[in-house]
């Protein structure tokens, strides 16, 4: 081989090797960057009952961002599955929580980081999804298993939803099966016809319901009645509150009512009433069974005689007052005849002016006073 040809061949081989090295380096850089091969990582562990086909090499995400890969999926002695994965150290601080804590039931409470097994779509690869813990928690220690939530698996949810849909469809089928019965269909048809006739009567008739729906005056009366009922209920409420306040005052106060109901005065009053009632009963028994005046007045003929005497006396009083009113007799004349009144007035005036009579009156007074003086014995 000539020297020029050999040089060209070596040049071609060298160019091919350089291009191959560049392609290999680029691929290694891209793949390594995608899998975070050139960054420091922190290893974590999560324990599941079922991982749903998760395998080493699947992606690990925090808040939807790829931050690592699954290293191993192994069985433990208790039959559960331990998933070991690595997360880039730059994202490890977002995994927060307290080992051994329970997930808060209140969605508004601070939530720790939780590990879930998810998928890239309905038919995609499985992956590990981690939620960001609340910043009130400390970073999760890498040597402790993370909290897991297996109920949020999308496929499990889909299976659960499918089961619920199947159950609902079965219930609907059981509900609609009776409608296949011709007799039931005829009954429903009859009911629909009756409802149509009833609504027609309500719309075209002249009953109370029809007037209520079409007559504004009837509607106004119903509204007024409802307002009156509302007002009455308000009054009853106020009355009940007043009664309750009075009862409270009686219970807590120190007045007569409180003393009668809650104090010893009430018992004493009841005892006095009881004694008085007993005494009245005794008196009534004595009157009924005795032979005194009250018994004679109530149960014997004495009452009739007394009533007859009272009647006669009232008749006499009525006769006398009638005679006096008519001006008959001395008292009647004094009360009715003005001339007798004038004569008496004039007689009294003459007596007051009579000196002899006044002297006689004074003499009589002195003699009476001398007779009343006591005698003093020596």
User: DSSP secondary structure string, 162-200?
Assistant: HHHHHHHHHHHHHHHGGGG-HHHHHHHHHHHHHHHHHHH
Q: Which residue has the higher pLDDT, 253 or 123?
A: 253
Give yes or no for residue 368 having a pLDDT over 70. yes
Query: 47: which DSSP letter?
Result: E
pLDDT digits over 254-288, tens only? 777 777 777 777 777 778 888 888 888 888 877 77
Most confident of 95-104, 149-158, 215-224, 311-320: 95-104
Predicted confidence (pLDDT) at residue 38 exceeds the cutoff of 70: no
Task: Mark whether 27 and 98 lie in a shared domain.
Answer: no
Q: Are residues 7 and 49 in the same domain?
A: no
pLDDT-derived band at 29 (thresholds 50, 70, 90) equals low
Task: Count the domains in the chain.
Answer: 3
For residues 125 and 22, state if they share a domain.
no
**Of 99, 134, 161, which residue sits at a domain end?**
161
Range of the domain at 350: 301-365
- 347 or 90: whose pLDDT is higher? 90
Domain identity same for 316 and 358: yes
Q: Distances from the Cα of 292 to the Cαs of 41, 237, 254, 260, 361, in angstroms?
A: 124, 59, 48, 39, 54
Rounded to the nearest integer, the mean pLDDT of the chain is 77
Same domain (yes/no): 109, 48: yes
Q: What is the pLDDT of residue 4?
A: 64
Which range is most confident: 91-105, 265-279, 304-318? 91-105
**Residue of higher predicted confidence among 49 and 5:** 49
Asked whether residue 260 is domain-assigned, the answer is no
Question: What is the strand order of the sheet 126-130 is part of?
Answer: 41-48, 81-88, 65-75, 59-62, 126-130, 115-119
The last residue of a domain, from among 161, 178, 197: 161
- What DSSP string runs through 283-313? HHHHHHHS-SHHHHHHHSTHHHHHHHHHHHH
What is the structure's pLDDT at 97?
92
The pLDDT of residue 95 = 93
In a domain, 85, yes or no: yes
With respect to residue 144, please indicate whether it lies within any of the assigned structural domains: yes
Q: Are 92 and 130 members of one domain?
A: yes
Residues 20 and 130 grouped into a single domain: no
Q: What is the mean pLDDT of residues 126-143?
A: 91
Residue 44 has a pLDDT of 94
Q: For residues 87 and 109, what is the distance between their CA atoms, to the nearest angstrom?
A: 26
Q: Is residue 340 part of a domain?
A: yes
Q: Using CA atoms, how far apart are residues 322 and 325, in angstroms rounded to an integer?
A: 5
Q: Could you give the percent of the chain with pLDDT greater than 70?
A: 72
pTM exceeding the 0.95 threshold for the entire prediction:
no
What is the per-residue pLDDT for 194? Answer: 83
Q: Is the pLDDT of residue 148 over 80?
A: yes
Locus of tokens 């009525």:
318
Q: Is the pLDDT of residue 57 over 70?
A: yes
Asked whether residue 69 is domain-assigned, the answer is yes
Last residue of one domain, picked from the residues 140, 161, 182? 161
pLDDT of residue 70: 93
The answer, yes or no, to whether residue 35 has pLDDT greater than 60, is no
Quick one: pLDDT at residue 213?
A: 66
Do 117 and 44 belong to one domain? yes
- Does 177 map to a domain? no
Q: Using DSSP, how many helices (H) and how many strands (E) does the chain show?
A: 13, 6
Are residues 58 and 28 part of one domain?
no
Q: Specify the higher pLDDT residue, 353 or 110.
A: 110
Q: Has residue 201 been placed in a domain?
A: no
Q: How close are the terminal C-alpha atoms of the chain, in Å?
A: 206
- Domain assignment present for residue 18? The answer is yes
- Do both 44 and 87 map to the same domain? yes
Residues 146 and 93 in one domain: yes
pLDDT of residue 273: 82
Q: How confident is the model at residue 348 (pLDDT cuts 50, 70, 90)?
A: low
Q: Is the pLDDT of residue 242 over 70?
A: yes
Choose between 318 and 198: higher pLDDT. 318
Residues 9 and 70 in one domain: no
Does residue 73 carry a pLDDT above 90? yes
């Amino acid at each position: 081989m000539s020297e020029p040809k050999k040089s060209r061949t070596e040049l071609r081989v060298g160019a091919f090797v350089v291009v191959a090295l560049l392609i290999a380096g680029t691929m290694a850089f891209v793949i390594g960057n995608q899998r975070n091969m050139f960054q420091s990582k922190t290893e974590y562990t999560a324990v599941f009952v079922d991982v749903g086909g998760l395998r080493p090499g699947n992606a690990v995400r925090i808040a939807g961002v790829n931050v690592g890969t699954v290293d191993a999926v192994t069985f433990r002695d208790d039959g559960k599955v331990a998933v070991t994965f690595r997360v880039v150290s730059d994202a490890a601080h977002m995994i927060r929580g307290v080992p051994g804590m329970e997930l808060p039931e209140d969605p508004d409470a601070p939530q720790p980081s939780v590990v879930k097994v998810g998928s890239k779509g309905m038919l995609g690869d499985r992956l590990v999804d981690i939620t960001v813990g609340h910043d009130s928690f400390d970073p999760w220690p890498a040597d402790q298993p993370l909290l897991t939530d297996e109920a949020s698996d999308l496929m499990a949810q889909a299976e659960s939803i499918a089961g619920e849909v199947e159950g609902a469809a079965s219930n609907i089928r059981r509900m609609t099966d009776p409608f296949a019965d011709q007799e039931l269909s005829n009954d429903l048809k009859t009911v629909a016809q009756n409802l149509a006739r009833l609504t027609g009567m309500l719309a075209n008739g002249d009953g109370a319901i029809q007037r209520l729906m079409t007559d504004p005056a009837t509607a106004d009366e119903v509204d007024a009645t409802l307002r009156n009922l509302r007002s009455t209920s308000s009054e009853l409420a106020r009355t009940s509150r007043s009664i309750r306040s009075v009862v409270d005052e009686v219970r807590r106060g120190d007045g007569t009512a409180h003393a009668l109901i809650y104090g010893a005065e009430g018992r004493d009053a009841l005892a006095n009433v009881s004694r008085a009632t007993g005494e009245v009963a005794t008196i009534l028994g004595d009157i009924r069974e005795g032979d005194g005046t009250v018994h004679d007045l109530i149960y014997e003929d004495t009452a009739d005689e007394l009533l007859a005497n009272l009647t006669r006396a009232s008749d006499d009083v009525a006769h006398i007052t009638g005679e006096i009113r008519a001006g008959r007799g001395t008292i009647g004349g004094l009360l009715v005849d003005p001339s007798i009144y004038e004569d008496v007035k004039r007689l009294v005036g003459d007596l007051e002016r009579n000196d002899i009579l006044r002297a006689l009156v004074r003499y009589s007074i002195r003699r009476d006073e001398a007779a009343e003086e006591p005698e003093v014995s020596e």
